[in-house]
A and B are shown apart, each in its own frame.
Chain A
């Protein structure tokens, strides 16, 4: 498979805190093909964002990482920080959740959008500026010559979100990791974000969408991965997944969306510090049996996989 862009294998991240060690990511394995939109869905606080940070190698300094991340055949998890800097923003870029927090309020938006171009494409100040204006125009930030010189707080929320996308795509990355792009956003804005992302995706950029928003993931993705309590419990093509989710948690998650009657998942999300033995979902699972107390296998099927004893 030469068109694999990102390959994540056996990645675990734990973060020591005052209350104990948070096992944020456990044995994550998946791959994203070139031009593919891949969504990682799950509840807030299930460790999805940490996985994104782990790929970018931007984990908090005290986090403990193990596993392997390959990008375009290069094992980026083994690169030095200096070499990694050449990858970030160039091959893989990230788009943060809250544009007002993610943009530096003390630097003009245009300058910030131009930074990846200057750092990775070796453009001069003038070239970067011209390219920035084109990028802003491409994302409907008008008039670009004026907007380029403004500060983030002079932008409207939607416009700043687009500027963030312009900044993420500034150096033509092959993969964009977008962390919760629709969190706290109303329906209209959500639709706009989907439209811009689709625009970027149609230009050939692959996406890793990290989201709790099942509807958004459905509208955007080619494939879906479901994250529960630090583990990926199911990966499937979008149509197959929404037609027939395999894992009991996936089923519960889909039943919880408004369109399907908003059935809440019984019980509450377990603590990430003291994770349940065996299958992490078993305390809340309607199908649980004895064997669920031991770690379930990842069952590979045609074009999908699931981490559950039911299919073993």
Chain B
């Protein structure tokens, strides 16, 4: 039953969630030196002895490690990640807002990636072992190998500086699509390449199946066979790559948002690191990890759901 599978998978999440919360919490302890000092150290490097002591007591840093962890966890569970040292805003709210922007950009990037990957993957598989296939594979190889920061600047030079088609950077209130095209394309490149490869090999696999020959035997046109009989089945394994792509997109967001001045979570983390806003870094990282974990969990369920063979096996 799907429900049982869901519960079992959900139970797996618990130890992982505990681990990642513990890792996020411990981050502050891997830093050389006293956490209170680190927290109270201003970007210029100085700190006030009395303020450190006050901070230590106020945040319970004089208590044993596990008590500190439990206290912190208690807050984190209800969305209390503390306050930013820089802006004095609640970390959770800031992170949530930034993440919303990252999500917008990522969804757009994912859409671009799929629009590129599906046709190229299908064509590449149908033209298996021809020049077209080689070209598509080479393109995919470039896609995963190109450094996104470099690609970003090349695209800015071409589309903004030379052609003046698109704005080089900026946020455009998060709604103006022109501001999203360049960053989303750069962000989606890696995912597009991985998905294209996946669709290609998946299509090759499916097109060799006997049921494709059966469909031909029924007099269906090649177009219908490819779309209805092959692509549908070939895309099922690609769902697993979508989860993976979310990782790609989140990773890419760090560099892409920094370059294009997009106020998302990647930008926030980099800014926070540069301004020594440790609470913000900790909160962002934990937040991203939890979201990433949940997305993968969800993708897993979609995969099971999209695969009738698995879906019904669990019913019987």
Contact = CB atoms under 8 A, between A and B. Distances in A.
Does A touch B (CB under 8 Å) in the complex?
A: yes
Contact of B211 (A101, A116, A170): A101
A107 B228 CA distance: 9
A143 B37 CA distance: 75
Interface string B11-53: 0000000000000000000000000000000000000000000
A167 interface: yes
Nearest to A94: B217
Interface in B213-242: 213-221, 224, 228-229, 232-233, 236
Given A105-B309, A106-B232, A106-B233, A88 B218 contact: yes
B236 to A, nearest CB: 7
A56 B217 contact: yes
Nearest to A153: B309
Nearest to A103: B211
B210 interface: yes
Interface residues of B, number: 23
B211 A88 contact: no
Interface of B: 209-211, 213-221, 224, 228-229, 232-233, 236, 308-309, 312-313, 316
B216 A58 contact: yes
Contacts of A107: 228-229, 232
A120 to B, nearest CB: 6
A154 B312 contact: yes
A102 B229 contact: no
Contact of A86 (B209, B215, B216, B219): B219
Given A107-B229, A153-B309, A154-B312, A96 B218 contact: no
Interface size class of A (residues with CB under 8 A): 20 to 34
A134 B171 CA distance: 60
A36 interface: no
B210 A98 contact: yes
Given A96-B213, A105-B308, A105-B309, A89 B218 contact: yes
Of all A-B residue pairs in the complex, the 6 with the closest CB atoms, nearest first, are A89-B219, A88-B219, A89-B218, A101-B210, A104-B211, A94-B217
Interface in A103-137: 103-107, 115-116, 119-120
Interface string A57-94: 01000000000000000000000001001111110011
Contacts of B224: 119
Interface in A142-199: 151, 153-154, 167, 170
A58 B221 contact: no
B233 A104 contact: yes
B215 A85 contact: no
A106 B309 CA distance: 8
A275 to B, nearest CB: 27
A88 to B, nearest CB: 4
A167 B309 contact: no
Given A101-B209, A116-B219, A119-B220, A96 B214 contact: yes
B121 to A, nearest CB: 17
A53 to B, nearest CB: 8
B210 A102 contact: yes
B229 A93 contact: no
A34 to B, nearest CB: 20
A88 B222 CA distance: 13
Contacts of A101: 209-211
B309 A89 contact: no
Contact of A151 (B214, B215, B217, B309): B309
B215 A119 contact: no
Nearest to B212: A104
Nearest to A118: B220
A132 to B, nearest CB: 13
A87 B219 contact: yes
Given A89-B218, A107-B229, 10 more contacts: A98-B210, A102-B213, A103-B214, A104-B211, A104-B214, A106-B232, A107-B228, A107-B232, A116-B218, A119-B218
Contact of A104 (B215, B217, B236, B312): B215
Nearest to A88: B219
